[in-house]
Structures are given as C-alpha cells and as structure tokens.
C-alpha cells in the first residue's frame, strides 16, 4: 500500500456522528408520558375498586378501655383481601394501604395501629381465625412468613395480612386468636341447667 493510498483512505473515513439530542429528548418525553399514563391508569383502577367496595361499613375504633394486652406485635400490615381470595384486594376505608403496624390483642379484640394510615379495631366477636400463610394481594413471602387474620366486617369475611419484625412470634398469635374464636363459638346450653 502506497503513501498516497493511505492518505486517500484516511480522507474517506468519517468522524463519529455528534449525538442527536433532538431524537434523545423526544424519546425521553415519550417515555415520561408513557409512565404517567400507566400511573394514571393504576390510580383509576384503585379508585374504581374503592367505589365497588363502598358498601363496606366504616371500620370500628378501639374502645376506651380494651383491657390488658395478651400479645403485642410490631411489624408491617400488608393489606386485606376477601377471605379465601388472596388476590381480591380490599381498598375501601384505607385497608389497601400498606404500612407499619402495631398490633395489640386483648380480650376485647385486635387493635391495629398504623402510623400514616387509618387505625382499625376488630372486636373479639368478629374474629374468625388466624393462620400462617405465604402470600396476600401482591406480597409473597416464604411459607409461614405471613400472619393472616380472618375477621367478619358487616356481611363480608376479610383476610388481613401482617408480618412481625420477629417472625417467630407468629405461631403464638395464631394460637391465641384461634383459642379466642373457639371459646366464643362454643354454645351455652341454658336448657340443661334449667332442667336440673
């Protein structure tokens, strides 16, 4: 290869194109609009679900003197669903809002205090059962990593999912709540006492 052909080859090479800023800005604006649209659609879906669940009564609040605490738990509230349907999230009255939670179990019921979200109280007569599970409405953990409390609210059975900061507390909660529901379900036979 001669010196002249090298000079011709160098002259034919082009330098790299300067970045096309107009095209990049167009893509970024398009992406931002797409993300905003998806967010808006998710918000509309959340509000629509809340309107569908508008017949759910207001949540009860804790009584003035609920009694001595049997158990306490600090952790997270992961949401509520229709009982037995772990993907049917309930969003009415703030039940769909994930938050930190402080749970207190007394003879009066289950008090759920949620900083940054609405607190609620489940009277002992409304408690149905407790169990260990692995998932609820968008949150999946290891087997037994979630404390699920089933309770009656109006004419609806609700599953509420909690996770303690110390998961080894979960079995004690299951046992305590289930023993409360078993004693409240035992019928009192007044006819037998009257016959004696």
pLDDT tens digits for range 46-103: 667 666 676 788 888 888 887 888 899 999 988 888 888 877 888 888 888 889 999 9
Residue at 138 is within a domain = yes
Q: Domain of 177: which CATH number? A: 2.30.29.30
CA–CA distance, 171 with 159 (Å, rounded to integer): 17
CA–CA distance, 52 with 101 (Å, rounded to integer): 26
Residue at 139 is within a domain = yes
Residue at 46 is within a domain = no
The domain total for the chain is 1
Confidence (pTM): 0.68
CA–CA distance, 48 with 135 (Å, rounded to integer): 24
pLDDT at 103 (0 to 100)? 92
Q: Could you identify the residue written with the tokens 């604006």?
A: 29
Residue at 17 is within a domain = no
Residue at 4 is within a domain = no
> pLDDT digits over 130-165, tens only?
999 887 776 777 777 889 999 998 888 999 989 988
Domain that holds residue 171: 71-185
Residue at 90 is within a domain = yes
CA dihedral (129, 169, 121, 182) in degrees, to 10, reads 30
Among candidate residues 148, 151, 170, the one with its CA nearest the CA of residue 161: 148
Residues contacting 81, CB < 8 A, separation 6+:
87, 88, 89, 90, 136, 137, 158, 159, 161
Residue at 52 is within a domain = no
Residue at 166 is within a domain = yes
């Amino acid at each position: 290869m001669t010196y002249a052909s090298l000079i011709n080859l160098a002259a034919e090479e082009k330098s790299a194109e300067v970045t096309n800023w107009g095209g990049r800005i167009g893509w970024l604006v398009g992406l931002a609009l797409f993300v905003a649209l998806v967010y808006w659609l998710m918000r509309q879906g959340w509000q629509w679900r809340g309107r569908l669940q508008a017949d759910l009564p207001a949540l009860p609040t804790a009584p003035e003197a609920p009694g001595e605490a049997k158990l306490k738990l600090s952790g997270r509230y992961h949401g509520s669903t229709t009982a037995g349907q772990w993907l049917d999230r309930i969003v009415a009255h703030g039940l769909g809002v994930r938050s930190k939670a402080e749970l207190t179990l007394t003879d009066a019921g289950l008090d759920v205090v949620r900083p940054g979200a609405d607190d609620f109280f489940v009277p002992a007569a409304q408690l149905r059962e407790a169990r260990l599970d692995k998932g609820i409405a968008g949150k999946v953990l290891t087997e037994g990593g979630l404390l699920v409390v089933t309770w009656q609210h109006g004419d609806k059975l609700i599953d509420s999912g909690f996770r303690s900061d110390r998961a080894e507390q979960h079995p004690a909660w299951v046992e305590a709540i289930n023993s409360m529901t078993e004693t409240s379900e035992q019928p009192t036979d007044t006819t037998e006492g009257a016959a004696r």
